[in-house]
Amino acid sequence: MIGFELSEDQQKWRDKAKAFAENEIKPVSWKIDKGLTQEYPWPLIKKLNEQGLLSMGVPETYGGSGLDLLTTAIALEELAVADGGISFTSSLNSFNSLMIAGNDDQKAEFLPLVCDKDNPGLAVFALTEPNAGSDAGSITTTARADGQAYVLNGEKCFISNAGLASVYIVFATVDRAKGIKGITGFIVPKDAEGLTFGKIEDKMGFRSSRTASFNLEDVTIPESYRLGKEGDGFKIAMQELDMLRVLSCCAVGVGIGRAACEDAVRFFKEQGNIKAVMNQQAITFDLADMTAAVEAARLMVWKSCWKMDQGLPGTLDSSLTKFFAGDMAVEAAGKALRLLGHHAYTESYPIEKYVRDAKLLQIYEGTNQVARLVASRMILAG
């Protein structure tokens, strides 16, 4: 059966996220974006955590909210209407690699750190390297077995939350000759000796989310911090990306696209003569197209989440949704900019911010071209 009515629990989380976005995120979002607050917005992140909106996918036994992907996506959309970067940070804290491949001891040791009520840690998923972006299988960070330990060496770049997070999931190769079959995931705590942080990126958008590089120089971790078996890492990373792409890119993208539509409609209503606007097809058709595209992307997000929540394969839906929702947000923000003209090009409306933020959705967590590659391979093979 197909139903579109949200459950009581889903409505509760949607309303909670909406109220938080309106009351807590919106008033500070523009200040963070404009660099008026130099510090990382920890106070906001702590409040998000107090409301259970930070580590939504982590089971309650470890301090999270225990939400499924669909409910998490519904809440992330609301957060993203106010600020894409804050919503993205929340999505990363569901900490999927540990949930996918962590054993009970690893979950018990590390999940409570990211969910700590007084001092929430953040999570890092570190795959990308200076010479391995889209071709994730060619990473060169090494993990050398040394008795009951591993010694990690290498560099990771464009890593969200690097330097802030308490726990790092690092993908490294135990044997380059094995290609992707050598890639393995490791848990690296922030205080590990030899872990150092590099330049904080000055980004075009998503300025409320921290992005930085880090180095691993003879970082020694116990064997018990390995995720799964040697060689499982590539699949773990791809499985996590199936979920992350739907949450971090697509649910966030629906929120940004919706914000662009809502601001455009608000603008025309505030102008006063709405009847005159209704006769301007150059305006109204754009609004109709934007609204339809947001609706379509949301339905794709919900379907992808529902499938993965049922344990069904989600790669195709996730990939289709990734590029559709990312492109939709870019287009919606661009149309809103065109409709509002000078008003949107200035800071009177946050539309110029949506334009900058939305562009990242086509780039991160696998470019939209990677998403098209994955989807088209599956369509042709299926």
**Calpha distance 160→95 (Å, rounded):** 13
Measured from the CB atom, is 203 or 343 closer to ligand CAA?
A: 203
Q: Which is the catalytic residue, given 77, 230, 240, 365?
A: 365
Measured from the CB atom, is 156 or 298 closer to ligand CAA?
A: 156
Shortest gap between Cβ of 265 and ligand CAA (angstroms)?
Answer: 32
Shortest gap between Cβ of 59 and ligand CAA (angstroms)?
Answer: 21
Shortest gap between Cβ of 43 and ligand CAA (angstroms)?
Answer: 23
Q: Give 157's contacts (C-beta < 8 A, 6+ positions apart).
A: 128, 129, 130, 198, 213
What secondary structure letter does DSSP report for 169?
E
DSSP-assigned states of every residue in 331-373: HHHHHHHHHHTHHHHSTTSTHHHHHHHHHHHTTSSS-HHHHHH
Measured from the CB atom, is 119 or 134 closer to ligand CAA?
A: 134
Measured from the CB atom, is 214 or 267 closer to ligand CAA?
A: 214
Kindly list the distances between the CA atom of residue 267 and the CA atoms of 54, 191, 274, 278, 320, in Å, as whole numbers in the listed order: 32, 49, 10, 13, 32
Q: Determine whether 223 is an active site residue.
A: no
Shortest gap between Cβ of 237 and ligand CAA (angstroms)?
Answer: 8
Q: Give 5's contacts (C-beta < 8 A, 6+ positions apart).
A: none
Residues of this chain that interact with ligand CAA (CB under 6 A) are: 125, 127-128, 134-137, 159-160, 180, 234-235, 238-239, 241-242, 315, 364-366, 370, 374
* CB of 114 closer than 8 Å to CB of 95: yes
Measured from the CB atom, is 24 or 240 closer to ligand CAA?
A: 240
Q: Give 294's contacts (C-beta < 8 A, 6+ positions apart).
A: 254, 257, 258, 261, 328, 332
Shortest gap between Cβ of 6 and ligand CAA (angstroms)?
Answer: 28
- Tell me the catalytic residues: 365
